[in-house]
Structure 1
Amino acid sequence: MKRILGFGGVVATAGLLAAGLSVPAQAANDVASDALSTNGLAAYAVAAYWKANNAANLIGATPYNVETKVVAKHLSKGGPSADSKPGIVPAIGDEKKTVAKSKNVNLPKTTGKVFFTTPDGSDADSRPDRHWCSATSVQSAYHNLVATAGHCVYDTETNAATLNNWVFIPGYYQGKTPWGVYVGKQAFTHYDYDVYEDGDRDYAFVTVYNGLKFAHDGVVRPFTDNPGGWKEVSKATFLNFPGWFRDWNNNGTFWCQHDDKYYVWAFEDAGRLGDNVGGQGLAYNQKVGQPVFVFGYPSGSHPDGNYAYSGKTLKWSYGKTFPASASSIKAEELVGVKSSFTGEGALGSSWLLKYSNTRRLGYLNGVTIGVSDTDGNDRYDTSVSPYFDGELYGVYGAAKNLWSGSIAVPFESPALH
């Protein structure tokens, strides 16, 4: 099962704000938006799906695959045309600061994995396939926005609107969720990607609910052993949960019925994503040829069979961007960077411009949508991303001011139904 995936991130320094950069007008018909989890009950059920049975679904997820043929050598034809003036959005906490320089590469807290399911059903147990990509937290009004590749949000294999059970976990490592689990609420991408699968627009921004903390790292205690870990909800609230959640693991995992009353395991609110890990800035219409750091979770092998990355830990690469194209994915305005990242798991890796190693912040300027072996030696040597232009800023602008809120129990508030 091969998919063409990608996107990237860029960071910009606050010092650029003084340049008086303009913001392009947003064309509403250029933005496509789809709901991921429409209410608190559905979102809670999604988080429970991933953390049940000692996070078995998280641990069992596999990286999303990539297969891309890219013309990605140092070309002299110039960069993609800009549709407006260059611009940047400062990172969270970076609005009034300048970026210091450092030679040490400290990994950003903002980066993590997005997990989701696809309806392939090719797993041995006939359940939906569980996959993951790389992603990063970015600046937004409510500190609740994630950037990744469009392929890591929209299911182009089945033409379904979005991938299912979508969550972002910053700092994920072998089932551990150090800053909580953040369930996707609303997904935004460019209309041309949503409808035509235009590779030049293969990026997405997703608003997420407040994170959830899991007592005992998600190990639910039986009601008779620990009634304090459970929260009573009304029968009406219980019946509003998705049917699959009520029917799934009805042995007491995350919900139970005791003395004719209904209880749900009481996850705690972990707070907003950006408050916990920060958020990268955004840069668009930038000159091609500037150095960027690429942060992601590459996995899998090179074409020659060498397994260079496990996908378990966050990795980085560094290089200058250059123009690239990929006819196989209908993409003519891509940028490339020399990188040995393998394709699996690296989809959605953030490309950060002017990254500060001391504060671990910069400007998102790309997301990996594919990798390529450009010299024919059976080793991947190039990662590619859509060029971040004013149309990308229009998609970001549609997502950046939307509130999401908490999904921790209880769910008795009408706003969560």
Structure 2
Amino acid sequence: MKKRMLLPLGGAVVAAGLTAAAAVPVQAAPTTSTAKLSSAAGAADILTFWTEDNGANLKAADPYGVEHKSVPKLVSKGAPAADGKPGVVPAIGDEKKSTAKTKNVNLPKTVGRVFFTIGNDLYSCSASSIQSQYRNLVATAGHCVYDLDGNGATVKRWIFIPGYYDGKAPWGIYVGKQAFTHYDFDVYEDGDRDYAFVTVYNGIGWDHEKKVWVDLGALGKNVGGQGLAYNQKVGAPVFVFGYPAAPHDDGDYVWSGEKLKWCYGKPFFPVAEASVKVEEQIGLKCAMTGGSSGGPWILKYSSARRIGYINGVTSLGGDTDDNGRSDLITSPYFDGETYGVYKAAYPLWSGSIVRKDGSLGITEARSE
């Protein structure tokens, strides 16, 4: 059964133009919820499910998005109330500031598709690798981790495939280990907190000659990781990336979900939609449809280096002028509480799920 979404996608490059705090602001205890997605022992079944029959389940997955009764709309002019000083976390490989600039738009290696199941249904979202201590963290939408219709239960068989295209996994498959969301999203389904950070096990690939699984190492070592920006002023241009797969409301299938797409523009604030408890998200004119949920909104994106600062993730969207074509996407505003949820996931180890004989199993013991 297809779930309809009316407008559902990591460090830093150039610090200039972003408001950065000299030091990380002191935060109150983060209001974070966490849940286990998979044990190492369960990874074999998850990988088999998604890769058997030449990846048939990957191609059969429907785009997943939050259902709501009407399209989010700009309700007033203003600016979000930041809960602390602005701050940034640099991308992997960009801990030292760079002044690289380019006019080309090269797609980021960090962005990919998320696949999961709810009951017997197959779904997909978008996501990106983001900076973390062990290079094992993914940023996506909260509704791409928690089944809101199931009263907050986590989705099943959650995997991330960076660089996904036409059913291929060029940098391997990463099974989700643990999900972190804002408490208000988990408990109250607050759409203004529709973001999640997921730790993943080392990447898995298949050796066709030896007929064994291969440990590809940590996500961030293979594709890098975007940085994070929070408590920033709204209005600076962003690139938004994702895998739209749903048709427009007029039935036109512009997107297939098989290739990465992007939008570019200046976000505006605030956007509201009461049916999904959204009061102050940010919006962007963009034609992406369902399946782009969870994709990153990246400030100061360098096409040469393919990195920037994630400052949002696609949450909602739809057709604002009733012409049957999607033209808006939205994101939660990233503030200090977003940073708190991120920091709860940042230092956690995941490890390998491949045994020495090439089989999959419990090998979570940490080794550096």
Q: 1:413 to 1:360 in 2, by over 3 A?
A: closer
Aligned to 2:179: 187
Aligned to 1:34: 35
Residue deviations 1:245-286 (CA, integer Å, cap 9, x gap): xxxxxxxxxxxxxxxxxxxxx311011100000000000011
Aligned to 2:57: 57
* 1:285 partner amino acid: N
Q: 1:348 to 1:299 in 2, by over 3 A?
A: same
Q: 1:286 to 1:70 in 2, by over 3 A?
A: farther
Once residues 192 and 412 of structure 1 are traced to their aligned partners in structure 2, the CA distance between those partners, rounded to angstroms, is 33
Once residues 401 and 6 of structure 1 are traced to their aligned partners in structure 2, the CA distance between those partners, rounded to angstroms, is 33
Q: Is the 8 A contact 1:7 1:367 kept in 2?
A: no
Asked if 1:143 is matched to 2:125, the reply is: no
Q: Is the 8 A contact 2:110 2:162 kept in 1?
A: yes
Q: 1:311 to 1:412 in 2, by over 3 A?
A: closer
Q: 1:24 to 1:295 in 2, by over 3 A?
A: farther
Aligned to 2:281: 334
**The residue matched to 1:301 in structure 2 has which SS?**
coil
* 1:53 partner amino acid: D
Aligned to 1:43: 43
Once residues 77 and 281 of structure 1 are traced to their aligned partners in structure 2, the CA distance between those partners, rounded to angstroms, is 28
Q: 1:115 to 1:8 in 2, by over 3 A?
A: closer
Aligned to 1:22: 24
Residue deviations 1:38-76 (CA, integer Å, cap 9, x gap): 2x2212321222112222222222221444434434x65
- The alpha carbon displacement at 1:171 in A equals 1.0
Equivalent residue pairs, number:
358
Q: 1:11 to 1:156 in 2, by over 3 A?
A: farther
Asked if 1:407 is matched to 2:325, the reply is: no
Q: Is the 8 A contact 1:352 1:363 kept in 2?
A: yes
- The alpha carbon displacement at 1:415 in A equals 4.1
Aligned to 2:198: 206
Aligned to 1:92: 92
- Aligned pairs for 1:150-299 (under 5 A) are 150-216=142-208, 229=211, 266-299=212-245
Residue deviations 1:82-136 (CA, integer Å, cap 9, x gap): 00011100000011032422111100000000110111xxxxxxxx111110100
**The residue matched to 2:146 in structure 1 has which SS?**
coil
Once residues 147 and 89 of structure 1 are traced to their aligned partners in structure 2, the CA distance between those partners, rounded to angstroms, is 14
Once residues 340 and 85 of structure 1 are traced to their aligned partners in structure 2, the CA distance between those partners, rounded to angstroms, is 33
Q: Is the 8 A contact 1:150 1:204 kept in 2?
A: yes
Question: Normalised by the size of structure 2, how large is the TM-score?
Answer: 0.91
Q: 1:12 to 1:23 in 2, by over 3 A?
A: farther
* 2:22 partner amino acid: G
Residue deviations 1:159-183 (CA, integer Å, cap 9, x gap): 2521001000001123211101100
Q: Is the 8 A contact 1:33 1:188 kept in 2?
A: yes
| Identity, % of aligned positions | 58
Q: Is the 8 A contact 1:366 1:386 kept in 2?
A: yes
Q: Could you tell which deviates more after superposition, 283-292 or 167-176?
A: 167-176
Q: Is the 8 A contact 1:70 1:372 kept in 2?
A: yes
- The alpha carbon displacement at 1:370 in A equals 1.0
Q: Out of 300, 322, 326, which is 1:380 matched to?
A: 326
Once residues 35 and 6 of structure 1 are traced to their aligned partners in structure 2, the CA distance between those partners, rounded to angstroms, is 28
Aligned to 1:314: 260
* 1:339 partner amino acid: C
Once residues 13 and 72 of structure 1 are traced to their aligned partners in structure 2, the CA distance between those partners, rounded to angstroms, is 32
* 1:335 partner amino acid: I
Q: Is the 8 A contact 1:294 1:350 kept in 2?
A: yes
Aligned to 1:304: 250
**The residue matched to 2:246 in structure 1 has which SS?**
strand
Q: 1:413 to 1:356 in 2, by over 3 A?
A: closer
**The residue matched to 2:265 in structure 1 has which SS?**
strand
Residue deviations 1:338-378 (CA, integer Å, cap 9, x gap): 11112x11111110001001100000011111112222222
Once residues 317 and 303 of structure 1 are traced to their aligned partners in structure 2, the CA distance between those partners, rounded to angstroms, is 19
Once residues 327 and 412 of structure 1 are traced to their aligned partners in structure 2, the CA distance between those partners, rounded to angstroms, is 44
Cα RMSD for the two superposed structures: 2.3
- The alpha carbon displacement at 1:10 in A equals 9.6
Once residues 333 and 373 of structure 1 are traced to their aligned partners in structure 2, the CA distance between those partners, rounded to angstroms, is 19
Stretches of structure 2 lacking an aligned partner (at least 5 in a row) = none
Q: 1:413 to 1:206 in 2, by over 3 A?
A: closer
* 1:83 partner amino acid: D
- The alpha carbon displacement at 1:24 in A equals 4.0
* 2:57 partner amino acid: N
Once residues 96 and 206 of structure 1 are traced to their aligned partners in structure 2, the CA distance between those partners, rounded to angstroms, is 25
Q: Is the 8 A contact 1:170 1:177 kept in 2?
A: yes
Query: Quick check: which one's helix share is greater?
Result: 1
Once residues 292 and 364 of structure 1 are traced to their aligned partners in structure 2, the CA distance between those partners, rounded to angstroms, is 9
Once residues 362 and 278 of structure 2 are traced to their aligned partners in structure 1, the CA distance between those partners, rounded to angstroms, is 48
Residue deviations 1:274-315 (CA, integer Å, cap 9, x gap): 000000000001101111001001122222222221211100
